[in-house]
C-alpha cells in the first residue's frame, strides 16, 4: 500500500457519508417529519422533510410516499440530524405562500372551478326561467291580442322577477400564470 492509499484509507474510515439512501417507513404530515430506514437497516425517526421544524404554515412541503426511497443528508455530520434531499415518489406538493407565480402573470389569476360552475349554473337557471317566462308571457296575451301589450309584459316581468346573472369571485388573484 502506498502512502497516499494509506492516508485515503485512514481518512475514509474517520468520515461518515454525507448522503445516504433510505426508505420511507412512516410520514407525519402534521409535523412534516418522516421515519426512514437506512440502507444499513437502521431506523431513524424525526427526519426533516422541511428545512426547519417549526409551526410555520408557509413554504413548500413535499409529502413522500410511504415505502418509497429518499436521499437523506446529515446536518453537521450528525446521524440524528437527517433531512430529505431528494424523493423517488411524491404523494403531493404543498405550496403555501401569499402569492404564487407560474411563468409570469400575463394571464392573470387562476380560475376557481367551483365559482365558474356556480356562475354557469346561474346562467342555466336564468335561461330556463327566461324560456318559461317567454312561454308564460305569450300564453297570457291571449288570441288576437298584441304580444307587446301590457298583459304579456306583466306576465313576462313577473316570471323574470329576481333573475340576475352575476359573475363574481372567479379568479384566485394569489396565483398568477402566464
d(CA 91, CA 30): 15
Q: Is residue 51 part of a domain?
A: yes
Tell me: do 77 and 147 sit in the same domain: no
Burial class (CB in 10 A: 0-12, 13-18, 19+), 34: buried
Q: Is residue 104 part of a domain?
A: no
Whether residue 22 contacts residue 39, with contact meaning beta carbons closer than 8 Å, is answered with yes
d(CA 79, CA 34): 14
d(CA 72, CA 85): 5
Q: Is residue 7 part of a domain?
A: yes
Tell me: do 71 and 14 sit in the same domain: yes
- For residue 97, give the 3-state DSSP assignment: coil
pLDDT the model gives residue 14: 63
Which pLDDT tens digits describe the chain residue by residue (178 residues)?
888 887 777 766 666 668 889 999 999 988 889 999 988 888 999 999 987 777 777 788 899 999 999 999 988 777 778 899 999 999 988 888 888 887 777 877 888 888 888 888 888 888 888 878 887 777 766 655 665 667 777 777 787 788 777 777 777 777 776 6
In whole angstroms, how far apart are CA 125 and each of 46, 117, 153, 159, 160? Answer: 54, 12, 21, 13, 11
Q: Is residue 103 part of a domain?
A: no
Q: Which of 97, 132, 163 is the C-terminal boundary of a domain?
A: 97
Instruction: Find the CATH number of the domain harbouring 27.
Output: 2.40.50.140
Q: Which of 70, 65, 67, 117 is CA-nearest to residue 91?
A: 65
By residue count, the chain amounts to: 178
Domain ranges, residue 68: 3-97
> How many separate helices (H) and strands (E) can be counted in the chain?
3, 10
Tell me: do 11 and 60 sit in the same domain: yes
Place of cell 308564460: 136
Q: Is residue 135 part of a domain?
A: yes
Count of structural domains within the chain: 2
Say how far residue 102 (Cα) sits from the centre of its chain: 13
pLDDT the model gives residue 145: 62
Amino acid at each position: 500500500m502506498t502512502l497516499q492509499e494509506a492516508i485515503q484509507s485512514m481518512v475514509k474510515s474517520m468520515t461518515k457519508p454525507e448522503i445516504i439512501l433510505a426508505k420511507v417507513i412512516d410520514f407525519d404530515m402534521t409535523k412534516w417529519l418522516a421515519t426512514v430506514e437506512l440502507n444499513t437497516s437502521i431506523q431513524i425517526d424525526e427526519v426533516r422533510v422541511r428545512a426547519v421544524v417549526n409551526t410555520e404554515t408557509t413554504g413548500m412541503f413535499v409529502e413522500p410516499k410511504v415505502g418509497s426511497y429518499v436521499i437523506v443528508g446529515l446536518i453537521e455530520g450528525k446521524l440524528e440530524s437527517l433531512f430529505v434531499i431528494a424523493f423517488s415518489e411524491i404523494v403531493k406538493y404543498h405550496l403555501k405562500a401569499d402569492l404564487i407565480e407560474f411563468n409570469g402573470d400575463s394571464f392573470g389569476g387562476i380560475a376557481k372551478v367551483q365559482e365558474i360552475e356556480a356562475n354557469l349554473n346561474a346562467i342555466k337557471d336564468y335561461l330556463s326561467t327566461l324560456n318559461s317566462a317567454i312561454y308564460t308571457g305569450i300564453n297570457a296575451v291571449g288570441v288576437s291580442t298584441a304580444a307587446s301589450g301590457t298583459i304579456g309584459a306583466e306576465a313576462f316581468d313577473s316570471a323574470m322577477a329576481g333573475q340576475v346573472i352575476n359573475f363574481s369571485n372567479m379568479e384566485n388573484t394569489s396565483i398568477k400564470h402566464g
